[in-house]
């Protein structure tokens, strides 16, 4: 079974530039998550989709971050304009259903490491 695919793996941009990350979840997974992991910290949820609808985006800085999940499959996360504090690893994860459902777990991609200079 193919895992969660993310691209690019690494990205370096200057502050005030824009950047986009792409995620292809495991086939059939209804729930998709974007997490931000700053160095030395645990992942923090940015946005959660159920199919193509947003379930939780309460921690997404909406003035600069946006995300979409077209047709309930692939997803893109965009930052515009980027700030120095956005330097982090952006992790995409997917799960068959809500993780509170028995035997449901979230699978993570390898992440995109963003450096803003």
Residues that bind other proteins (CB under 8 A): 3-4, 31, 33, 40-45, 48, 55-56, 89, 91, 93, 98-100, 105-111, 113
* CA distance to 4, 37, 41, 77, per residue, from 110 (Å): 8, 12, 16, 15
Q: Which is nearer to other proteins, 18 or 59 (CB)?
A: 59
Q: Which is nearer to other proteins, 15 or 38 (CB)?
A: 38
Distance CA 41, CA 112 (A): 16
**Minimum distance of other proteins from residue 86's CB (angstroms):** 18
Give the 3-state secondary structure percentages of the chain, helix then strand then coil, rounded to 5: 5, 50, 45
**Minimum distance of other proteins from residue 78's CB (angstroms):** 21
| Helices marked H in 31-114 | none
Q: Which is nearer to other proteins, 36 or 79 (CB)?
A: 36
């Amino acid at each position: 079974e193919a895992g969660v695919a993310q691209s690019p793996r690494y990205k370096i941009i200057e502050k005030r530039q824009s950047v986009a990350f792409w995620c292809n979840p495991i086939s059939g997974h209804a729930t998709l998550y974007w997490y931000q992991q700053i160095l030395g910290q645990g992942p923090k949820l940015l946005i959660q989709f159920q199919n193509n609808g947003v379930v939780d985006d309460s921690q997404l800085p909406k003035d600069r971050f946006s995300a979409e999940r077209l047709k309930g499959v692939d997803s893109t996360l965009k930052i515009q304009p980027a700030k120095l504090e956005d330097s982090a690893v952006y992790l995409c994860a997917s799960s068959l259903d809500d993780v509170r459902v028995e035997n449901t777990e979230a699978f993570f991609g390898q992440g995109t490491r963003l450096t803003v200079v």
